Amino acid sequence: MAGSEVRARRRIDLDHAEALRLLGSVSLGRIVFTRQALPAVRPVNHVLDRGDIVILTHEGTALASHAQQSDGTGVVVAYEADAIDPDTHLGWSVVVTGYARPVSDPLELAGVRALLQPWAPMEGRDQAVRIHPELVTGVLLTEAGGPGGTTD
């Protein structure tokens, strides 16, 4: 794109199914949770399993501790993943808000470990957290032209 050339862009809201499909197409995202009454964000690997997002974590982390101490309903978190080109700013972003609960079944935990492709060493990541999506939002960022969307 030339220095002064500006192309029209569109933002298209994604439906629930398409947003989760895109989220499942990547393996890295960001978990947002509360730590000492403040928001904390961590990059993590994930896998989409039966409509839930599952991540591995270390025992004793703030997220693992909060999820274990919950009354069984879990702890509220947000999860974000995207694929946005740094040059064109085109791509997509998905944000999921839901309840995170610890994975306690040893067979389920072994299955999660087998599915995840770690970006960092997995030593010590002996716990998993399952996030059940309650609210799913997603946007597609594309060039203008064609049906739907709003021009930004």
The widest CA-to-CA distance across the chain, in whole angstroms, is: 57
Contact call for residues 132 and 106 (beta carbons, < 8 A)? no
Give the H/E segment covering residue 47: strand 47-49
CATH of domain 16-143: 2.30.110.10
| Residue segments in the chain with a per-residue pLDDT below the cut of 70 | 1-6, 58-62, 64-72, 117-125, 146-152
Element (H, E) at 77: strand 75-84
pLDDT tens track for 58-102: 665 667 666 666 566 788 999 999 999 999 999 999 999 999 998
Domain extents in the chain: 16-143
Q: pTM score, two decimals?
A: 0.82
